[in-house]
């Protein structure tokens, strides 16, 4: 399994300028390659190959006065920019064929984009110094704020600058599955919601932090201050960064909450079952702001990869499964109920149910059936 570890880095003034050159050169090569392919498409010419674009836009371009500054950055950064364009085209064509969710065609990058990034592979000969610094070609030794130890030697590192002006180093490492946790008998179903972020089948209710709602007043004030600044002024640039930092603080708090809760759930249970929610559909309703604030998709993704990493069972229950209509005690289907009904009595066995706890228990039962059926299929196929 490949895992990504991200750490904050603190480049010096000269290193920030060098990283700025790297971001700019990678962006120019990406845009030149995209322009060449779009021009070929409009004129009905063959799709230019990556090797040809590399020779034309990197190797040959360095000897021309208008692109001579490309030699100031590592060639690996420019090559990886072309690979990023290949990936963007592949994702676009796969989405047209229905192999993945719909994505748009590759677009030109701008120096005003909120996120700038460059990637260094092993060919770039980057390294970690004995003192714990990140040594990057033509940039230097950058201080890293280590929060944990990498499980193995990284294969690549991506340097990212976000909208708030912060720099990060993102390492990709290979793991051999040696982090399997000791077995446990726990099994849990999770019903996700807005009033409570998560309700577990054992009756526990996790309150919804509502990070965005709590910070909304401060975010509104920062956005209002930005709107009053003259376009193109230095004060406006400072206000833009202030707004970005306020949003980054909310996103960081939400991500920290998701990580801690998902780790706790995976450690305590051998099997985790979650309902497959239609988040995109819910995000188009009047609840859109609250749905985005909850971040269900990110949380479920964390549960899935952590369960796989630590040897746990993870199951997504079909979104059309009537978890709120079934009685978890007798299995009687009592029909749909409005959202205002938070507690109901089963007409089949007279059991009084908390709506969310009952749904979580039904998700656990259905998830166990799905996991058992998956195991039987694998055994029948010799898996």
Cβ-based neighbour number of residue 71 at 10 Å: 15
How far is the CA of 67 from the CAs of 56, 63, 76, 119, 356, in angstroms? 11, 7, 16, 20, 61
E strand segments, 63-204: 116-120, 127-128, 134-136, 140-145, 156-161, 167-174, 187-192, 196-200
Q: Which of 187, 334, 356, 366 is catalytic?
A: 356
Do 292 and 213 touch, CB atoms closer than 8 A?
no
* Burial of residue 382 (number of CB atoms within 10 Å: 0-12, 13-18, 19+): exposed
Can you tell me the distance from the alpha carbon of 301 to that of 292, in angstroms, rounded to the nearest whole number? 15
How far is the CA of 104 from the CAs of 87, 94, 308, in angstroms? 12, 11, 30
Helix extents (H) in the chain: 13-42, 50-54, 75-96, 211-227, 234-268, 279-282, 288-294, 296-309, 355-380
Q: Would residue 174 show up in a list of annotated catalytic residues for this protein? A: no
Tracing tokens 């050159």 back to the chain, one arrives at 21
Do 199 and 294 touch, CB atoms closer than 8 A?
no
* Burial of residue 281 (number of CB atoms within 10 Å: 0-12, 13-18, 19+): exposed
**DSSP assignment of 42-91, as one string?**
HTTPPPPPHHHHHIIIIITGGGSGGGGGGGGS-HHHHHHHHHHHHHHHHH
Q: Which of 32, 275, 293, 304 is catalytic?
A: 275
Query: Sign of torsion, CA 130 136 139 145?
Result: negative
Can you tell me the distance from the alpha carbon of 17 to that of 69, in angstroms, rounded to the nearest whole number? 14
Which DSSP symbol is given to 140?
E
Q: Which of 32, 84, 187, 191 is catalytic?
A: 191
Strand, coil or helix: what is 196? strand
Q: Would residue 275 show up in a list of annotated catalytic residues for this protein? A: yes
Q: Which of 89, 90, 99, 82 is closest to 25 using CA atoms? A: 82
- Catalytic residue numbers read 191, 275, 356
């Amino acid at each position: 399994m490949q895992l990504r570890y991200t750490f904050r880095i603190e480049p010096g003034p000269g290193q920030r300028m060098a990283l700025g050159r790297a971001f700019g050169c990678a962006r120019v090569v990406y845009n030149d390659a995209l322009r060449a392919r779009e021009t070929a498409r409009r004129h009905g010419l063959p799709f230019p190959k990556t090797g040809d674009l590399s020779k034309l836009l990197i190797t040959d371009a360095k000897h021309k006065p208008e692109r001579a500054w490309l030699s100031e950055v590592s060639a690996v950064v420019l090559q990886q920019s072309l690979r990023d364009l290949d990936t963007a085209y592949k994702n676009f064509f796969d989405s047209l064929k229905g192999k993945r969710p719909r994505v748009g065609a590759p677009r030109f990058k701008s120096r005003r984009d909120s996120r700038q990034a460059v990637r260094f592979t092993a060919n770039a000969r980057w390294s970690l110094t004995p003192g714990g610094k990140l040594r990057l070609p033509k940039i230097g030794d950058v201080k890293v704020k280590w929060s944990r130890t990498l499980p193995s030697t990284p294969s690549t590192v991506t340097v990212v600058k976000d909208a708030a002006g912060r720099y990060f180093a993102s390492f990709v490492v290979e793991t051999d599955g040696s982090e399997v946790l000791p077995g446990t008998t726990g099994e849990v179903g999770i019903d996700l919601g807005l009033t409570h972020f998560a309700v577990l089948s054992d009756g526990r209710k996790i309150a919804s932090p509502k990070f965005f709602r709590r910070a909304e007043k401060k975010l509104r004030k920062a956005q209002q201050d930005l709107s009053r600044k003259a376009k193109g002024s230095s004060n406006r640039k400072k206000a833009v960064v202030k707004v970005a930092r306020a949003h980054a603080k909310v996103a960081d708090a939400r991500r920290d909450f998701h990580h801690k809760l998902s780790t706790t759930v995976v450690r305590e249970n051998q099997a985790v079952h979650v309902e497959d929610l239609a988040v995109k559909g819910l995000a188009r309703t009047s609840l859109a702001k609250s749905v985005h604030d909850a971040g269900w998709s990110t949380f479920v993704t964390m549960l899935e990869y952590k369960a796989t990493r630590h040897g746990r069972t993870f199951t997504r229950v079909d979104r059309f499964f009537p978890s709120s209509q079934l009685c978890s005690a007798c299995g009687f289907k009592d029909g749909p109920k409005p959202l205002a009904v938070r507690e109901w009595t089963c007409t089949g066995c007279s059991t009084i149910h908390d709506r969310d706890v009952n749904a979580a228990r039904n998700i656990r039962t259905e998830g166990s059936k799905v996991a058992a059926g998956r195991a039987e299929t694998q055994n029948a196929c010799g898996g």
